[in-house]
Amino acid sequence: MPFKRDQSSRIETNYQDITKNDKKNAELLKWMFDNYGFPSMQKIGLWKGDFFMPSGPLLLHMADYEEYHQYFKTKILEYVKSGDCPPRDYAAMIDRNNLHNKIPYTYAVYQGYENIKDSANVNRNRKRIGLPSLKHAQLITKDFFKKIKNKN
């Protein structure tokens, strides 16, 4: 339900509904974290009845609301460290909030690798949450596309 609600208003680009739905989802996620923990793939799988919950898009949209950002920044980092939340989902949420606030990239996940001012700092941040370095991530991507090309 949260993912469906999250995406439905974005398809029609109804900004009033987007804001309303994002805030509902934020409150639901906070309640879920407090009562059940992070809805990881290990806990709920990808599909649970009508409940489709890929965390990435929902967390990404939480970056748009300063009143929720600090809570999610702190709480979700705990879930990254416990292995429940994918580091990339957390990093994208932080980077998107940084972009809105004109803060340099912390992880360089949301917008890619352009405009990185301090790659050593970005690599340290990435290592802390379990992401590969910028150079290693580029090699992984390059190898992936080479493998796809060779299959065709």
Q: What predicted TM-score, i.e. pTM, was given to this entire model?
A: 0.81
**What confidence tens digit (pLDDT) does each residue in 8-49 have?**
666 566 678 888 888 988 998 899 899 989 887 777 665 554
Q: How far is CA 67 from CA 23, 97, 106, 147, in A?
A: 10, 12, 20, 43
Q: How far is CA 142 from CA 10, 37, 91, 109, in A?
A: 32, 35, 21, 16
Band of pLDDT at residue 67, cut at 50, 70 and 90: very high
CA 131 to chain centre: 13
In sequence order, what DSSP letters do the residues of the chain get, joined into one string? Answer: -HHHHHHHHHHTT-HHHHHHHHHHHHHHHHHHHHHH----HHHH-SEETTEE--HHHHHHHHTT-HHHHHHHHHHHHHHHHHTSS-HHHHHHHHHHHHHHTT---SSS-SS-STT-S-HHHHHHHHHHHTPPPHHHHHHHHHHHHHHHHHH-
Q: Looking at the predicted structure, is the pLDDT value of residue 78 above 80?
A: yes
Distance from the Cα of residue 89 to its chain's centroid: 3
pLDDT, residue 11, reads: 58
